[in-house]
Amino acid sequence: MRIRRHALISYSLTIALIDIALDTVFGISRLYAQNAEAESLFSDGNKLMAAGKLAEACATFEASNRIEPRAGTLIRLGECRENNQQLASAWSAFKDARNLAVDPRKRQFAIDRIAALESRLSYLTVTVSNQDQAPGFVLTRNGAVFDPILWNRTLPVDGGEYVIVGRAPGYDAWQKTVQVPWEGAKLSVEVAVLTKTSVSETPTTSTSSKLQEQPTAPLQTLSNEPLPPVPSPTPPSTIERYASGTRQSKRLFTMRRKIAIGVGGSGVIGVVAGSVLGTMAKAKQDDAFTLCPDPARPCKQADQANALIRSSHRQALEANVAFGVAATAVIGAAVLWFTGAPDEGTTRVGVIPSLTSGELNVVFTRRY
Encode pLDDT of 172-216 as tens digits: 999 999 999 999 999 999 999 888 988 654 444 444 444 444 444
pTM over 0.85: no
Q: Could you tell me if residue 5 is inside a domain?
A: no
Is there a single domain that holds both residue 355 and residue 259? yes
User: Can you say how many angstroms the Cα of residue 37 is from the centroid of all Cα atoms in its chain?
Assistant: 17
Q: Are residues 40 and 87 in the same domain?
A: yes
73 within a domain of the structure (yes/no)? yes
Report yes or no on 161 lying in a domain: yes
Quick one: 128 and 234 in the same domain?
yes
Q: Which residues pair with 161 in a beta bridge?
A: 179
248 is a domain residue: no
What region, left, alpha or beta, does residue 134 occupy, with left being phi > 0 and alpha being psi -120 to 50 degrees? beta
Q: Are residues 138 and 218 in the same domain?
A: yes
2 is a domain residue:
no
Please answer whether residues 80 and 45 qualify as being in contact, where contact means their C-beta atoms are separated by less than 8 angstroms.
yes
Q: What is the pLDDT of residue 101?
A: 93
Q: Is 151 helix (H, G, I), strand (E, B) or coil?
A: coil
The CATH number for 79's domain is 1.25.40.10
CA atoms of 28 and 131, how far apart (whole Å):
54
pLDDT of amino acid 244: 47
d(C-alpha 36, C-alpha 263), whole Å: 26
Residue 286: the pLDDT is 81
Q: Which domain holds residue 132?
A: 122-198+205-243
CA distance 357 to 365: 22
- 61 and 159 within one domain: no
Q: Are 345 and 270 found together in one domain?
A: yes
Q: How many domains does the chain have?
A: 3
Q: Domain holding 191: CATH number? A: 2.60.40
Same domain, 132 and 235: yes
Each of the 368 residues of the chain gets a pLDDT tens digit; together they read 444 444 444 444 454 555 555 444 444 433 344 578 999 999 999 999 999 999 999 999 999 999 999 999 999 999 999 999 999 999 999 999 999 999 999 999 999 999 999 999 999 999 998 766 688 899 999 999 999 999 999 999 999 999 999 999 999 999 999 999 999 999 999 999 888 988 654 444 444 444 444 444 443 444 445 555 545 555 554 455 544 444 444 456 677 777 878 888 887 898 888 888 888 888 887 887 787 776 666 777 677 778 887 888 888 888 888 888 888 888 887 887 777 766 554 444 555 555 555 555 555 554 44
Identify whether residues 224 and 316 lie together within a single domain.
Answer: no
Q: Are 341 and 30 in contact, with CB atoms under 8 Å apart?
A: yes
Residues 70 and 144 in one domain: no
Inside any domain, residue 315: yes
Residue 4 included in any domain: no
248-265 burial by CB neighbour count: b if 16+ within 10 A, else e? eeeeeebebbeebeebbe
* pLDDT value, residue 260: 79
Residues forming beta bridges with residue 360, ordered by sequence position: 355
In a domain, 304, yes or no: yes
DSSP string, 327-353: HHHHHHHHHHHHHT-SS--S-EEEEEE
Q: Are residues 16 and 50 in the same domain?
A: no
Check whether residue 362 and residue 283 sit in a common domain.
yes
Q: Are residues 104 and 190 in the same domain?
A: no
